[in-house]
């Protein structure tokens, strides 16, 4: 059953000894079916992808997909200990990036938290280390 929730999303990027952090607080929907948790929200200018919808599907702590559709289109597949090659759309065109996942902690059912840690590369050249921390709160 779909529920309306409030999510807090913190994205941290480490690149060239610099740390960049962005935070987003937005309304979303959450749906749990078939053992998976599906969270969907509309991107805003704060994320840089205004006009897109992001859907995060978590299969326990095994795998997570992040799909963005709209003005920007991308598909990231994260699976702990594995590298996936994914399409990533930007305003300047699409590119294929490598995504190696270090950690997935899905405790949404216990305390409303999803933590992802992964490395991105382009043509086997390091781009950045990344962390996403999402907390989910039911609307009251």
Confidence (pTM) = 0.89
> What pLDDT is recorded for position 124?
84
Mean pLDDT of the chain: 90
Residue in this structure with the two tokens 């597949």, named with its chain if needed = 77
DSSP 27-79: EEEEEEETTEEEEEEE--TTTT-TTEEEEEEEETTTEEEEEEEESS-EEEEEE
Residue 53 belongs to domain spanning: 3-138
Q: Tally Cβ neighbours within 10 Å of residue 16.
A: 6
Instruction: Give the CATH number for residue 59.
Output: 2.40.128.20
> What pLDDT is recorded for position 135?
96
Positions in the chain short of pLDDT 70: 45-48, 90-91, 140
> What pLDDT is recorded for position 74?
87
> What pLDDT is recorded for position 50?
76
Number of domains forming the structure of the chain = 1
> What pLDDT is recorded for position 109?
87
């Amino acid at each position: 059953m779909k529920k309306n929730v409030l999510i807090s999303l913190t994205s941290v990027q480490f690149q060239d000894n610099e740390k960049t952090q962005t935070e987003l607080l937005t309304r979303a929907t959450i749906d749990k079916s078939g053992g998976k948790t599906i969270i969907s929200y509309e991107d805003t200018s704060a994320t840089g992808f205004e006009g897109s919808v992001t859907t995060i599907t978590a299969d326990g702590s095994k795998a997570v997909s992040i799909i963005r559709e709209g003005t920007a289109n991308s598909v990231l597949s994260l699976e702990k200990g594995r590298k996936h090659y994914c399409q990533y759309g930007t305003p300047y065109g699409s590119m294929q990036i490598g995504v190696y996942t270090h950690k997935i902690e899905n405790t949404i059912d216990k305390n409303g938290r999803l933590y992802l840690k992964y490395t991105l590369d382009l043509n086997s050249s390091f781009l950045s280390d990344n962390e996403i921390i999402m907390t989910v709160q039911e609307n009251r």
